[in-house]
């Protein structure tokens, strides 16, 4: 094919911010990769809550634009200067720029990770973003050790079910919060030592009971607005608040004296790209994750599959809290 005629893709395009209905399937031309780029044929696409933030505009991006940060597929072509992947390689990725909701795309090659032979495309697209997140949360943001007790919100979600299993593998007592009794059972099956239904139970009271009044050294909170204040109340003095998402809305501004009153608390607001910031970090984190999955210690639960054209339905399910584990799109 002549340059620029590499193919036509079906891709979800975003012309304006809004509800799921702004996700439109369009035909786009995909050309040859330029320097540092690769053309990837997606075989499976990961849906993540961050896609909702970009769709609504909570996180801004230039429009019109693509959506989606995670996929797995095959490299079709690489541009000048790309050494670590070649045509035919099976790869996965979990990074910006948005544009994973598509059958074929040209993208920066530096974010591509080669998939081990024993990991399929669906599994690859289902594990990388959320699995690398748990890797850095548990191994880097705070280095968990056997016997630690931690609080982890939304434990039956995509990040959550990986976190439950990773905690079990480390010998960590994970107290997971969930929004229903079915989700409680699921989190427990995946290794949560204790589960709290935060719609019906008092989280702080339950954490005090479970820890004999000691509270926890670290809270992982991706729910944001609805849980933030109570999460601080669950921390022991000098504990670490890890605020890593906003599924219920952004955390409102708060005063530093909130940290003083509870005893010199620490707080961090981490993002995956500040941990997987170069090839060496990305490769090391991915190797850790793939090892956990290949050895059977972590099972990737793909509990919802949608056609790419039905991305809006996938978003509706995710936002309505009707999903558990991972949601993927199939091109």
List interacting residues with ligand NDP (CB under 6 A).
48-50, 129-130, 133, 154, 156-160, 178-179, 183, 222-223, 226, 244-248, 270-272, 318-319, 321, 323
DSSP 108-157: EGGG-EEPPTTS-HHHHHHHHHHHHHHHHIIIIIS---TT-EEEESSTTS
Q: How far is the CB of 201 from ligand NDP (least distance, A)?
A: 13
211 or 247, CB closer to ligand NDP? 247
192 or 318, CB closer to ligand NDP? 318
> How far apart are the C-alpha atoms of 112 and 75, rounded to whole Å?
9
> How far apart are the C-alpha atoms of 276 and 220, rounded to whole Å?
19
> How far apart are the C-alpha atoms of 292 and 306, rounded to whole Å?
27
305 or 321, CB closer to ligand NDP? 321
Instruction: Please name which of 242, 192, 237, 193 lies closest in space to residue 214, comparing C-alpha atoms.
Output: 237
119 or 192, CB closer to ligand NDP? 192
> How far apart are the C-alpha atoms of 254 and 64, rounded to whole Å?
34
Q: How far is the CB of 27 from ligand NDP (least distance, A)?
A: 28
Residues 101 and 21 sit within 8 Å (Cβ to Cβ): no
89 or 319, CB closer to ligand NDP? 319
64: preceding bond cis by omega (within 30 degrees): yes
Q: How far is the CB of 159 from ligand NDP (least distance, A)?
A: 4
> How far apart are the C-alpha atoms of 66 and 56, rounded to whole Å?
13
> How far apart are the C-alpha atoms of 100 and 103, rounded to whole Å?
8
> How far apart are the C-alpha atoms of 177 and 221, rounded to whole Å?
10
Q: How far is the CB of 310 from ligand NDP (least distance, A)?
A: 17
143 or 212, CB closer to ligand NDP? 143
Q: How far is the CB of 75 from ligand NDP (least distance, A)?
A: 25
121 or 275, CB closer to ligand NDP? 275
> How far apart are the C-alpha atoms of 36 and 279, rounded to whole Å?
13
> How far apart are the C-alpha atoms of 283 and 184, rounded to whole Å?
33
> How far apart are the C-alpha atoms of 116 and 111, rounded to whole Å?
16
Residues 265 and 241 sit within 8 Å (Cβ to Cβ): yes
Q: How far is the CB of 95 from ligand NDP (least distance, A)?
A: 11
Q: How far is the CB of 22 from ligand NDP (least distance, A)?
A: 18
49 or 93, CB closer to ligand NDP? 49
- Closest-CB residue for ligand NDP? 157
Q: Which residue shows structure tokens 């499976």?
A: 44
Phi, psi of 304 (to 5 degrees): -140, 130
97: preceding bond cis by omega (within 30 degrees): yes
Label the pairing between strands 7-14 and 235-243.
unpaired
Q: How far is the CB of 216 from ligand NDP (least distance, A)?
A: 18
Q: How far is the CB of 42 from ligand NDP (least distance, A)?
A: 18
Cα Rg of the chain, angstroms: 20
85 or 159, CB closer to ligand NDP? 159
């Amino acid at each position: 094919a002549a340059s620029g005629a590499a193919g036509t893709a079906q891709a979800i395009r975003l012309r304006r911010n809004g509800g799921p209905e702004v996700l439109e399937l369009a035909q786009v031309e995909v050309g040859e990769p330029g320097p540092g780029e690769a053309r990837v044929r997606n075989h499976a696409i990961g849906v993540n809550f961050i896609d909702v933030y970009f769709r609504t505009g909570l996180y801004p991006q230039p429009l019109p634009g693509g959506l989606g940060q995670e996929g797995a597929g095959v490299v079709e072509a690489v541009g000048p200067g790309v050494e670590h992947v070649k045509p035919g390689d099976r790869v996965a990725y979990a990074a910006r720029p948005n544009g994973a909701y598509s059958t074929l795309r040209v993208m920066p090659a530096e974010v591509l990770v080669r998939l081990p032979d024993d990991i399929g495309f669906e599994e690859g697209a289902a594990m990388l973003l959320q699995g690398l997140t748990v890797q850095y949360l548990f191994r880097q943001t705070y280095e968990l050790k056997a016997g630690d007790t931690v609080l982890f919100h939304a434990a039956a979600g995509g990040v959550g079910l990986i976190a439950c299993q990773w905690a079990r593998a480390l010998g960590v007592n994970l107290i997971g919060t969930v929004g229903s009794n079915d989700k409680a059972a699921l989190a427990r099956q995946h290794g949560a030592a204790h589960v709290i239904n935060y719609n019906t139970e008092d989280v702080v009271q339950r954490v005090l009971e479970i820890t004999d009044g000691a509270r926890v050294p670290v809270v992982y909170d991706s729910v944001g607005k609805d849980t933030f204040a109570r999460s601080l109340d669950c921390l022991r003095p000098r504990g670490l608040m890890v605020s890593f998402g906003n599924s219920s809305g952004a955390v409102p501004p708060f005063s530093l004296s909130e940290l003083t009153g509870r005893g010199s608390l620490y707080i961090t607001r981490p993002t995956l790209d500040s941990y997987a910031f170069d090839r060496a970090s990305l490769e090391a984190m991915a190797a850790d994750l793939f090892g956990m999955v290949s050895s059977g210690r972590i099972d990737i639960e793909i509990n919802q599959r949608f056609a790419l054209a039905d991305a809006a339905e996938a978003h509706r399910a995710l936002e309505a809290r009707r999903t558990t584990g991972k949601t993927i799109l199939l091109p």
